[in-house]
Amino acid sequence: MNPSIDILDPNQKPAFIIERLWNLLLPWVCVFEYGVGKWRQSLYLARKWIELQVQDKNSEFLEILKEICTKEHISNISIEKPSEAQNHILEKSFDAFLCIRVLHFLKTKEAEKVIQNMKEHTKIGWYNVLQFFLKQTEHKAEYFFPDIPELENFYHWWKIIEKTEVKITEPSETTNGREMHQIGIIFQKL
């Protein structure tokens, strides 16, 4: 394990929108998570016996997640690092997609591809769950910081199940000490 990574407690509470999603899921569903990060969402759902496929560009995060899964005997997570050629290409459909605090790390066109791929590979009646930072004037235009109407336009003809906004004020690498607004949305494919 690389000590240079700031490791979160693997028992840390998941993002607020994931607990809401858990109430909507059945134990046999299959969920895909883009950008596993520091594993909170993946471990929370895996411990509840949800089948997961996770993908992240960061090999170190994936290796640590594999170590945690081995240590805890978690076998219902499929872990992969995509090659550039296969990035965002899926071969099957899923019951739900998670994209928690990932989109703002992507350039706008790449984020739009991720959203389109999630939409295309979500089974009818099931969910896309996004948590992201809202657009503010100081954000670089090349990265994906949508406003709510812009994101809702991507999900035209989908139903909003949950929409929760939270202010983030603690200093972090993402906020650079600024107050930022984050929103979690669960969309249901109709």
Is residue 8 within 8 A of residue 44, CB to CB? The reply is: no
CATH number at residue 154: 3.40.50.150
Is residue 1 within 8 A of residue 64, CB to CB? The reply is: yes
Residue 9 lies in a domain: no
Residue 59 has a pLDDT of 87
Residue 8 lies in a domain: no
Is residue 50 within 8 A of residue 27, CB to CB? The reply is: yes
Residue 176 lies in a domain: yes
Q: How many CA atoms lie within 13 A of 9 on its CB side?
A: 4
- Domain extent, residue 73, equals 16-189
Residue 136 has a pLDDT of 64
The closest of 134, 130, 148 to 180, measured between CA atoms, is: 134
Residue 1 lies in a domain: no
What's the count of helices (H) and strands (E) in the chain, helices before strands?
5, 7
**Cα(120)–Cα(70) distance, rounded to whole angstroms?**
32
Residue 6 lies in a domain: no
- List C-alpha distances in Å: 93 to 62, 68, 86, 109: 22, 27, 16, 22
pTM: 0.83
Tell me the one-letter amino acid at 17: I
Residue 11 lies in a domain: no
Q: How many CA atoms lie within 13 A of 149 on its CB side?
A: 0
**pLDDT tens per residue across all 190 residues of the chain:** 433 333 445 555 667 678 778 778 877 789 999 888 878 888 888 888 889 999 888 888 899 999 999 999 999 999 887 755 455 567 789 999 999 888 888 888 989 989 999 999 999 999 999 988 877 656 556 888 888 888 889 999 999 999 988 776 655 555 566 667 788 899 999 9
Residue 169 has a pLDDT of 64
Residue 5 lies in a domain: no
Instruction: Give the number of domains in the chain.
Output: 1
Residue 4 has a pLDDT of 37
DSSP string, 26-92: -TT-EEEEE--TTSHHHHHHHTTT-EEEEE-S-HHHHHHHHHHHHHHT--SEEEE---TTTTT--SS
Residue 134 lies in a domain: yes
